[in-house]
Structure 1
Amino acid sequence: MKKLVSVFILIFLVSCTIEEKAEISQEKMVDVLYDLTVSSSARNTASRRDTIQYIVDYKHILKKHGIDSLKFVKAQEIYQKKPDVYAVIYDSVQKRLQKKLEEVRASKPDKEDEALSPVINMKDIPFNRKKNNN
């Protein structure tokens, strides 16, 4: 009986020390969270009247990355138990978002965008001017 109890205690201790590993790698988690964040932002701006509506369902994003919602939730739970790793993942997402924002801001507008922009130079606006012959 003592041997049986000691075996159970040993199994319990070993099972407690085995670290659970996420099925989704950190790099893939960054990719998924990036896409989910962009989709969420598009969803938030789509409620405005004068914006183009880009609405992507979360299921499609997970499918694009070849994972299901259960794997994603389990991976998030595992990474949340390791705050240092979870912080690295979200820092990577933030850096990627910042880089994309800088690229968009640095890019020159298309010809179509220029046609829609307001006239800034007053010389380009025709005025009917009367000449004084005095």
Structure 2
Amino acid sequence: MLKQNIVIYIFITLLFVSCYGIDRPKKPENLMSKDKMVDVLVELALVSSAKGINKRELENKGIVPDTFVYKKHKIDSTIFANSNNYYAYDIDEYSQIYKDVRDSLESLRIFYKDVEKKENLIKDKELKETLKDKVKRVKTAK
């Protein structure tokens, strides 16, 4: 029991000592705005998902997903990494950024589900019309 208390005491002491003295990173000169950070993170998530599904197709077209997103937003990996590091220091701020990313991805998911439903309705309507036309042709042929 005494050994367990000593181990717990040492662990807690190390925890406090290891967290002491961590300073906020300096604000980078080319810090991305929070909105731009959200946009980049959303696109990185989308490209990462696409990479998992169509990796070979992306490679055949010569698309490097992360580089593609960075070029689109006119940044490089260093600007992204420095901005990410800066925002990550404040956990509340960083959590809000990721909440915005999650909300954006959810909005996109809902939007594309609606588009898919509309496309399916159109296909169903076209299929029904095609079947009706075939039935009419068969009836008139008799």
Is TM > 0.5 for Structure 1 vs Structure 2? yes
Does structure 2 conserve the Cα–Cα contact (< 8 Å) formed by 1:32 and 1:61?
A: yes
**Quick check: 1:39–1:56 contact (8 Å CA) kept in 2?**
no
Q: What is the match of residue 27 of structure 2?
A: 21
Deviation at 1:67, TM superposition (A): 0.7
Equivalent residue, structure 1, for 2:123: 114
1:88 aligns with 2:103: no
Q: Does residue 73 of structure 2 align to residue 65 of structure 1?
A: yes
Equivalents in 2 of 1:18, 1:41: separation in Å?
Answer: 32
Change in CA separation of 1:83 and 1:109 when aligned onto 2, cut-off 3 Å: same
Consecutive unaligned residues in structure 2, runs of 5 or more: 1-21, 129-134, 136-142
Q: Equivalent residue of 2:119, what SS? A: coil
Q: Deviations over 1:35-78 (max 9, x none)?
A: 10000011112269xxxx45652111111101111111111111
Q: CA, structure 1 residues 41+84, in 2 after alignment: closer, same or farther (shift >3 Å)?
A: same
Tell me the amino acid that sits aligned with residue 75 of structure 1: S
Size of the aligned set, in residue pairs, is 103
Which blocks of at least 5 consecutive residues in structure 1 are unaligned? 1-15, 120-125, 127-134
What TM-score does the superposition give when structure 2 sets the normalisation length?
0.58
- Residue 27 of structure 2 aligns to a residue in which SS? coil
**TM-score, normalization: structure 1?**
0.61
Amino acid at match of 1:26: K
Alpha-carbon separation, structure 2, partners of 1:18 and 1:57: 30
- Alignment root-mean-square deviation, CA: 3.4
| Greater C-alpha radius of gyration | 1
